[in-house]
Amino acid sequence: MKRHVLIVLIAFLFLAANAQKFENIAKTPPMGWNSWNKYGCNVSESLIMGMADAMVSSGMKDAGYEYVVIDDCWQVARDDNGEIVADNDRFPHGIKYLADYIHSKGLKFGIYSCAGTLTCAGRPAGRGHEYQDALTYAHWGVDYLKYDWCNTGTQEPKSSYTTMRDGLFAAHRPIVFSICEWGSNKPWEWAGAVGNLWRTTGDIDDSWNVMIGIFLQQKDLARYAGPGHWNDPDMLEVGNGGMTTEEYKTHFSLWCMLASPLMAGNDLQNMSPETKSILLNKEIIALDQDSLGKQAICWRDNGDYQIWLKILSNNEKAICLLNSSDEKKTVLVDFALLAQAKAARWGAASPLKLENFTVRDLWDHKDLMLKESSMYIDLLPHTVKVYRFIKK
Ligand code: GAL
């Protein structure tokens, strides 16, 4: 074989091996913590290290949360070589030091930038520096990059995000690429080949109305989600104080039904028992992290009472009853029909029979004792019931 042919072949195999690595990230929706919802621009080395410590000590790491992500405002300038410069007062040991610390805890490290000239908070952003920044991030040990869409002028989203994606590829470090374009350019239609997750809406807020509004906007997006590429209805507000415990349970359940990325946005160092019982509900998390990667569909829509269905691996499924109204509802739930729900919608060969399943309430952590196949269930305002049909 001629020498140059051999060189080309080796280069190809090298690139193919790396491309392969990239395909193996975010196989299930990424889980972690992000600074923005609670702390905004008030980020620092001590804050992020404290959150990493708390992620381990609170049991979050054991429950699957792994990325610790600094959002906007860590960056202040570019130096004479165009290198991005971190805020030295707030990050006195530099970003690599922080990444090393987070890695030493068995966690992964994420950072934020933006496709435009400036970030949304007006800090230096990535435009024109994509490959350079990707190399810097890889050198620092970044595992996750959230990439925003402010100050983009006439930039075209798909090509802008593709440039950064190619920069990350060229830096040869598998980095989860989180596209934050807010949904206005329908990223679900093009982002599956570009990033691992893409925001589908504007920003979440710590309020019932905004949260439930965002949820309802996810209704037609199920077919775009799957292993390696997820719809992102924004980060969690659980524990931030603007909703009731029941509303936070609803928020968390709905996000898990949607196979959404689960980025906690609260103070992990000071969590109430209620907040912990939500963020650490492993049975609900298991729906989100199911290996099939199917996003729930709205199976019955009666306006403010809806039934959502998530197909799980092993022919199991989860059902979420949602009362988004301000009044209590008593609903007759036909579990035999719900057992068949998959068969009806996906044309399975034989109908799935209720007697082959245990129905488990994932908030009560109990199996239902069904005397008949239907039963009346009370749903308080703004609450859910989440059931898993587990094969006997
Ligand atoms: C927004 C983004 C938020 C946060 C913020 C930072 O555009 O949606 O999640 O990252 O910018 O300035």
Ordered by start, the domain boundaries in the chain are 25-288, 297-391
Calculate helix-pair angle for 208-216, 245-257, nearest 10 degrees: 20
Question: Is residue 12 over pLDDT 60?
Answer: no
pLDDT in the model for residue 351: 72
Each residue's pLDDT tens digit, 287-322 = 999 999 999 999 999 999 999 999 999 999 999 999
Beta strands, E only, the chain: 31-34, 67-69, 75-78, 84-86, 108-114, 144-148, 176-179, 197-199, 230-232, 262-264, 297-302, 305-311, 317-323, 329-334, 357-361, 366-367, 374-379, 383-391
Angle between helices 45-57 and 94-104 (to 10 degrees): 10
Per the annotation, the verdict on 148 as an active-site residue is yes
Nearest-CA residue for atom 11 of ligand 1: 120
Report the nearest-CA residue for atom 8 of ligand 1. 203
Taking the C-alpha atoms of residue 34 and residue 71, their distance in angstroms, rounded to an integer, is: 6
Mean pLDDT of 26-50: 98
Nearest ligand 1 atom to alpha carbon 40? 6
Q: How far is the C-alpha of 57 from the C-alpha of 45, rounded, in Å? A: 18
Contacts 24+ apart (CB under 8 A), 337-341: 338/307, 338/309, 338/387, 338/389, 339/389, 341/299, 341/309, 341/317
Residues 320-379 have pLDDT tens digits of 999 999 999 999 999 999 999 876 666 666 678 999 999 999 999 999 999 999 999 999
Residue 114 CB coordination number (10 Å) = 25
pLDDT tens digit string along 333-348? 999 999 998 766 666 6
DSSP state of 184: T
Domain 297-391 fold is Immunoglobulin-like (2.60.40)
CB contact at 8 A, 177 and 196? yes
> Which overall architecture, per CATH, does domain 25-288 show?
Alpha-Beta Barrel (3.20)
pTM value is 0.94
Quick check: 43 and 73 in contact, CB under 8 A? yes
Q: Which of 72, 113, 114, 178 to mutate to test the pocket of ligand 1 (most atoms within 8 A of CB)?
A: 72
CA of 180 to the centre of ligand 1 (A): 8
Per-residue pLDDT reduced to its tens digit, 117-126? 999 999 999 9
Q: Find, among 37, 160, 52, the residue nearest to 106 by Cα.
A: 52
* CA–centroid distance for 176 within its chain: 11
203 is an active site residue: yes
> What's the CA gap between 300 and 308, in Å, rounded?
7
pLDDT at residue 33 tops 80: yes
Q: Taking residues 154-177, what's their average pLDDT?
A: 97
Give the per-residue pLDDT at 18: 47
Single out the residue of 144, 181, 183, 163 nearest to residue 31, CA to CA: 144
pLDDT digits (tens, 9 = 90+) for 228-282: 999 999 999 999 999 999 999 999 999 999 999 999 999 999 999 999 999 999 9
